[in-house]
Structure formats: structure tokens, C-alpha cells
Amino acid sequence: MEPDVPCLTPNFDKLASMGVRFRMKNLALDPKYGDQLRCLMAQMWRVVGETGDHSLYNSHYPALRLAPFGPKTGGET
């Protein structure tokens, strides 16, 4: 079992389990949560498109440029 990952882990996707107070377990790397992560990322990019937030869409921030799901990956749902 993967140990709990602190919420300040840099440049990693996070899908938090908030079951224990003051502790979060990062579920983003757990394959059984892949569909949920993909759905949430698609929703985020839809909002970016609907609001015209080109600062995010065209960002050169590495975590966004290398994200497995996004506006330029073909991974949207």
C-alpha cells in the first residue's frame, strides 16, 4: 500500500482522500481512480475554455504542459 503523501508534494497531480482529519492520501496514482481523475481534469479544462482563461491554456508551467489529460493531449472526455 502506498504511504500517505503530504499535500505539498510539488508537481504531482493530487486527488485527495479527506477521510482522516489533517491527513490526505494522494489517490491520483491509484489506477482505480483514473476515470475520476480524468473526469475532473476534463471539467477543469472545460471551465478554462468557457471562461477564456488563456493564461492557463497557454501556460508553460511544467505541471500543466506535461499533464496526462488536458486541452492538447486528446485525453479530454
pLDDT band with cut points at 50, 70 and 90 for residue 58: confident
Query: DSSP states of the chain as a string?
Result: -PPP--TT-TT----EEEEETTEEEE-TT-GGGHHHHHHHHHHHHHHHHHHT-HHHHT---HHHHT-SSSTTTT---
Q: At residue 56, what is the residue type? A: L
Mean pLDDT of 49-59: 81
Q: 59 vs 18, which has greater pLDDT?
A: 59
- Domain chopping of the chain, boundaries: 26-76
Mean pLDDT of 29-41: 85
pLDDT band with cut points at 50, 70 and 90 for residue 22: low
- Computed over every residue of the chain, the mean pLDDT equals 70
